Amino acid sequence: MRCPACGNPESKVVDSRSSEDGSAIRRRRECLACAHRFTTYERLGDTSLIVIKTDGSSEAYDRNKLMRGLLIACAKRHITPDQLENLIDSIESELRLKNRSEIGSKQLGDMALVRLGKLDEVAYVRFASVYKDFQSVEEFQTALDHLES
């Protein structure tokens, strides 16, 4: 694993623990060249998951793409990257348990929304506004009403 600070390929594991659902191992590493500390995650290699987009096209599931969307929705909120990692782990675990090889982008977004709503209401509305392509104030109000129910 290359150090993100200096690019050195040599590091040592300082701490290691499994995620809440046991689907990943979180490792804290320290670069042997510059002593920078960083986190890596080790996950079981799965059969690939295909996401069917709303236009009918398909693409391989990309965990990082989902994380980027969540990070944007959670900007300046009190949500840690570990909480988002756990949220995505939860989605992936549910899909593994259901033995799914394909999922619609709408279903994937809904799974993320349900979990995000439990973490932070503002992040929920931000994510929903992009994911559901809100075009009016009424659509924002509907999302807020959904949170209250």
Give the model confidence (pLDDT) of 95-129 as tens digits: 888 888 899 999 999 999 999 989 998 998 889 88
Average pLDDT for 42-50: 72
End-to-end CA distance of the chain: 45
**CA-CA distances (angstroms) from residue 92 to 42, 69, 133, 139?**
14, 16, 24, 29
Average pLDDT for 52-57: 91
Return the HEC string of 44-55: CCCCCCEEECCC
In angstroms, the CA 67 to CA 85 distance is 8
pLDDT at 147 exceeding the cut of 90? no
Among the residue ranges 78-82, 87-91, 92-96, 139-143, the one predicted with the least confidence is: 139-143
Residue type for 10, please? E
- Whole-model pTM above 0.75? no
Q: What is the pLDDT of residue 149?
A: 66
Average pLDDT for 2-12: 92
Helices 63-73 and 121-131: crossing angle in degrees, nearest 10, is 120
User: What is the number of residues in the chain?
Assistant: 149
Q: What is the pLDDT of residue 21?
A: 66
pLDDT tens across 15-42, in order?
Answer: 999 876 677 788 999 999 999 999 988 8
Residue 140, class by beta-carbon neighbours within 10 Å (0-12 exposed, 13-18 middle, 19+ buried)?
A: middle
Average pLDDT for 77-93: 92
Compute the 3-state secondary structure of the chain and give helix, strand, coil in percent, each to the nearest 5.
45, 20, 35
pLDDT at 44 exceeding the cut of 70? no
Q: What is the pLDDT of residue 24?
A: 79
**In the structure, what pLDDT confidence band is assigned to residue 144 with cuts at 50, 70 and 90?**
confident
Instruction: Return the DSSP state at 98.
Output: T
